[in-house]
Structure 1
Amino acid sequence: MTTTRIDTNPRLPGEPADIPAARPGWTLVLAALGVFLTSLDVVIVATALPTLRSELNASLADLEWTINAYNLVFACLMLTGASLGDRFGRRRLYVLGVLVFTAGSAAAALSSTADELIAARALQGVGAAVLMPLTLTLISNAFPAEKRGMAIGVWGGVSGLGVAGGPVLGGLIVDGISWQWIFWINVPVGLIVALLSARLLRESYGPRPQLDLPGLVLVGTAMLGLTWAPVRAPVVGWGSAEVIGALLAGAVLLAAFLGWEARTPNPMLPLSYFRRRGFTTANGVSFFQTISLLGSLFMMTQLFQIGLGFSPLEAGLRILVWMAMPMLVAPIAGGLADRFGNRPFMLAGLLLQGAGAGWLALVVEPAVGYGSLIGPLIMSGVGISLCFPTVANAVVSSVPEADAGLAAGTNSALRELGGVFGIAILAAVFAAHGGYGSPTEFIDGFKPAIWVAAGVPLLGAVFALMAPSHAQEKQSRLLSTQ
């Protein structure tokens, strides 16, 4: 008797017929390597900021742009990347995103001015916006719901490895070779990931065959306005016409996007998802957590070098106790969330992150001993680690599996928007109270900036308190599969 097999995961034209479906293990490895590239790059650049300031004659605004150019493009194109993956193939776009990120890294390494470096960082952001949301889509499609928290915990742990290794690796490279090699190191890793992904991942598509082009334009320009304002505010002032105009334009375009999505037959982002508590609360947690996290990172890497006089490598080693926590704690938190739900870990994580930052603000002073900083750094790092996998798990588990990419893209866009606001807000507070004139002057600005970073997670904790319980999460997953 002859049976007919229906292939629900069609091959690309010309793809060899003997390529099997990607195993979950390979999918997890390749997705985790993709997120490793993007997470490593944010931190490793932050470690090199003082060196870039001197060798490229970069101003404070230039230093912000070396991070914000990446985050701004990342935030603006995140939903676009997820939608393109659903339309043209997730494997194809994942490989393309990795290659674009790798090309941006090479361009950054070849930069000779701050402007060239900023442009290259924007190109890296384009690649990251495509590949980042697809990492969670790949994992969600490869693992059943009851094991997804563990897999996303590993994903968060590898992301933590990039964050943890960034300061040390950046210090080694900047001290031992040159700052350009913090970008060159991405090139071989990116090429290997792209080649393996093209060979081992199977192609899949999202549930919407048509691109929502008006939606893509509206959300991209809305995010541009909303991110441009905090990026420019430290230079031209929060009350300037440019900043107020950008915020108003972003808000109007966002409202137009929501209005369009409510009536178009093929929305890129179904607005009904925001009526799901798991989706909305997890995104709120992520937004406020990232304001604190990236704002703190921007200030912390400079504290150890400018405020306390350590070399890039010495600074990286001392930051390691903070940045290594996701690598150690996130896989455990992800596994436990499968048993106990995401809400308790998100709430505890935000409270620990804020308490650690507040403790740090209390003890930092000129010539403070490193031993006084270890406790607050570990506390804050553990808090961050509890949120990483549980937020991601809550977001993708609250929507149908086919829309995991759009859910991840929405979460990543809000997270990057939070990062841009975080750097701008903390830089503005720092500039209002201190400066780069001396270590004492730097710490005078650092302390109030970190106090702001300590308070912001409390806003995220409000969303965590409203998150669904474990029983409600399981019921939501069941409904999503029907």
Structure 2
Amino acid sequence: MLLVALSGLFATTFPVTILTLAIPTIADDLGSTETTLAWVLTLPMVGSALALPILGKLGDLHGHRRVFLTGFALAVAFTALSATATSAPALIAWRTLGQIAGTSTMPSSLALINAVHVGERRAKAMGWWSMISAGAPVVGLTIGAPAIDVLGWPTLFLLQAALMVLPVAASWAILRETPRRAARFDVPGAASLAIGIGPLLVVASEARRWGILSPWTLALSAVAVAGLAAFVGVERRSPAPLVPLAFLRARSTGSTLVVTLLTGASYMGGFFLASLLVVQQFDYSLTSAVPILSIRPVLFAVMSPVGGRVTARVGARLSALAGCVVLGLGMAGLATGSALDSLPMVVVGGFVLQGTGYGLLRPAISTALADAVDEGDLGMAGAAERLAGQLGVVFGITILASLYAGDLDRFPLAFAVGAAFAVAAAVAAPGMARPVTPPGDGRRRVLVEGEAVG
């Protein structure tokens, strides 16, 4: 089950990095602009974020195997159709639909894995899950770049669709269904959350281009605030809420989501800026920079199983705390390397520590959140984690890029703020859930708000 769930995660996530680098080529081929084609990345990200809590909850209510298989199969079709696009709007539409469908593999794979792995086995499984999340884009870059150069960009989507077929068949044969719950889906909650999160993500992505005080930024920000306020009101009255407010208020889950958001902002904000740093300050081309930029995600992937074993041995709190500290040191290394104009410091003090730290903490985060909720809420918990991570990525990139603002002398300041995000995450990490197994009782128990609950 672990291998099949991970194969689905890999097949739906591996093109992310190479697609980013291929935007100029695709824009030229379709007679469009890079600004327009940037929506090939932005709109699927927004759609995926909106779909996460909905798909996670649908899996909790109707079975994660069903949601996983349905979304996975639709993703194959939409991905193949992306290769047939002859215009920018068509490519954006097919890519967005494919990403939304493929999003089902994220919360459902977490729930399917966590449903059959408990205790130390859960922590180790989350290590492998994090490894695939980190390693898939690196593999996509390695395979996709030569394929695009030789055969053209549609090959990327055809290759992805082909790689999906076998995992879909294996998923049908091997995955076991999770228990279903007799409750109605919270449509008002899903709608109000979409109204709140969607505009917020668009603002975070486009505010640098529009301007903080532009009419678009202010209007969408107002819509987002109204949507989130409506979501809180709807969830308070709903008999079967999409996201129980108690889940967000509990110290264990709230702390874990805060750590997820802040470390996502630090790691991915630093990842985005480091690409600019290598190209602009150290005069590398995009092609020649790929081996250097791959160091960090490769280390993240390699260290994730180690992080799972460390979490199983010392617990999620200590593993996450250690990861946050190492991640913060990595961001400080990037700031120092930029200030000293030292590529070795950027690579060793920055990339190596960043990849190591994030590999240590990601399995700890997933394990802590799964341990803090009831078995019937694993999908919702996994979706909340991924949504918090995506929000962190968007805001981290936006804030650090705004601080940099195209001035090479401002790289150190931007990286220092990224280090501050990691420090703040380290402060929040002690509030994460702590698993407890009493003597003579093999059942999993978790400390939530100071009370042990089954």
Question: TM-score, normalising length from structure 2?
Answer: 0.88
Deviations 1:30-62 (A, max 9, x none): 111222234423223234355456656776644
Of the structure 1 ranges 103-112 and 137-146, higher mean CA displacement relative to structure 2 is found in: 103-112
1:284 is matched with which residue: 237, 255, 258? Answer: 258
**Secondary structure, aligned partner of 1:225:** helix
User: Paired residue for 1:74?
Assistant: 48
In the alignment, structure 1 residue 132 sits paired with structure 2 residue 106: yes
| Distance in 2, Cα, partners of 1:296 & 1:422 | 8
Preserved CA contact (<8 Å) 2:30 2:88: yes
Query: What are the residue-to-residue correspondences of 1:50-65 with 2, within 5 Å?
Result: 51-52=25-26, 61-62=35-36, 64-65=38-39
The code of the aligned residue for 1:292 comes to: S
User: Paired residue for 1:5?
Assistant: none
The code of the aligned residue for 1:88 comes to: H
2:376 is matched with which residue: 394, 399, 402? Answer: 402
Preserved CA contact (<8 Å) 1:219 1:257: yes
Residues 399 and 367 of structure 1, relative CA distance in 2, 3 Å threshold = closer
User: Paired residue for 1:187?
Assistant: 161
**Secondary structure, aligned partner of 1:77:** helix
User: Paired residue for 2:83?
Assistant: 109
**Secondary structure, aligned partner of 1:364:** helix
**Secondary structure, aligned partner of 1:476:** strand
| Distance in 1, Cα, partners of 2:349 & 2:335 | 12
2:406 is matched with which residue: 420, 428, 433? Answer: 433
User: Paired residue for 2:423?
Assistant: 458
Preserved CA contact (<8 Å) 2:328 2:423: yes
In the alignment, structure 1 residue 254 sits paired with structure 2 residue 228: yes
Q: Number of residue pairs matched?
A: 447
| Distance in 1, Cα, partners of 2:234 & 2:38 | 34
Preserved CA contact (<8 Å) 1:321 1:378: yes
1:151 is matched with which residue: 115, 122, 125? Answer: 125
Residues 454 and 106 of structure 1, relative CA distance in 2, 3 Å threshold = farther
Report the CA distance between 1:407 and its aligned residue: 0.7
Report the CA distance between 1:471 and its aligned residue: 4.9
| Distance in 2, Cα, partners of 1:470 & 1:127 | 33
1:160 is matched with which residue: 126, 134, 145? Answer: 134
User: Paired residue for 1:30?
Assistant: 4
Report the CA distance between 1:395 and its aligned residue: 0.9
Query: What are the residue-to-residue correspondences of 1:271-420 with 2, within 5 Å?
Result: 271-305=245-279, 308=282, 310=284, 312-364=286-338, 369=343, 373-420=347-394
Report the CA distance between 1:472 and its aligned residue: 9.6
Report the CA distance between 1:332 and its aligned residue: 1.5
| Distance in 2, Cα, partners of 1:360 & 1:411 | 27
Report the CA distance between 1:403 and its aligned residue: 0.9
Deviations 1:105-153 (A, max 9, x none): 3343334444444333322331233221001100011113342111111
Preserved CA contact (<8 Å) 1:305 1:315: yes
1:268 is matched with which residue: 242, 245, 250? Answer: 242
Residues 87 and 471 of structure 1, relative CA distance in 2, 3 Å threshold = closer
Structure 1: stretches of 5+ with no match in the other structure? 1-26, 435-442
| Distance in 2, Cα, partners of 1:481 & 1:86 | 20
Report the CA distance between 1:401 and its aligned residue: 1.0
Residues 424 and 193 of structure 1, relative CA distance in 2, 3 Å threshold = same
User: Paired residue for 1:439?
Assistant: none
The code of the aligned residue for 2:60 comes to: D
The code of the aligned residue for 2:428 comes to: F
| Distance in 2, Cα, partners of 1:78 & 1:229 | 19
Of the structure 1 ranges 261-270 and 46-55, higher mean CA displacement relative to structure 2 is found in: 46-55
| Distance in 2, Cα, partners of 1:470 & 1:91 | 27
**Secondary structure, aligned partner of 2:165:** helix
Residues 372 and 457 of structure 1, relative CA distance in 2, 3 Å threshold = closer
Preserved CA contact (<8 Å) 2:12 2:160: no
Report the CA distance between 1:187 and its aligned residue: 0.7
| Distance in 1, Cα, partners of 2:45 & 2:304 | 23
Q: CA RMSD in A?
A: 3.0
Of the structure 1 ranges 456-465 and 50-59, higher mean CA displacement relative to structure 2 is found in: 50-59
Residues 426 and 369 of structure 1, relative CA distance in 2, 3 Å threshold = closer
The code of the aligned residue for 1:455 comes to: A
**Secondary structure, aligned partner of 1:185:** helix
Residues 372 and 267 of structure 1, relative CA distance in 2, 3 Å threshold = closer
Query: What are the residue-to-residue correspondences of 1:197-208 with 2, within 5 Å?
Result: 197-208=171-182
Report the CA distance between 1:64 and its aligned residue: 4.6
**Secondary structure, aligned partner of 2:318:** helix
Report the CA distance between 1:367 and its aligned residue: 8.7
Preserved CA contact (<8 Å) 1:348 1:383: yes
Preserved CA contact (<8 Å) 1:72 1:420: no
Query: What are the residue-to-residue correspondences of 1:461-472 with 2, within 5 Å?
Result: 461-469=426-434, 471=436
Preserved CA contact (<8 Å) 1:35 1:158: yes
| Distance in 1, Cα, partners of 2:81 & 2:339 | 39
Question: TM-score, normalising length from structure 1?
Answer: 0.83
**Secondary structure, aligned partner of 1:161:** helix
Report the CA distance between 1:68 and its aligned residue: 2.1
User: Paired residue for 2:441?
Assistant: none
Structure 2: stretches of 5+ with no match in the other structure? 439-443
The code of the aligned residue for 1:476 comes to: V
Preserved CA contact (<8 Å) 1:68 1:420: no
| Distance in 2, Cα, partners of 1:109 & 1:136 | 29
2:69 is matched with which residue: 95, 101, 119? Answer: 95
| Distance in 1, Cα, partners of 2:312 & 2:12 | 26
Report the CA distance between 1:368 and its aligned residue: 5.9
Preserved CA contact (<8 Å) 2:5 2:113: yes
**Secondary structure, aligned partner of 2:253:** helix
The code of the aligned residue for 1:66 comes to: V
Of the structure 1 ranges 246-255 and 147-156, higher mean CA displacement relative to structure 2 is found in: 246-255
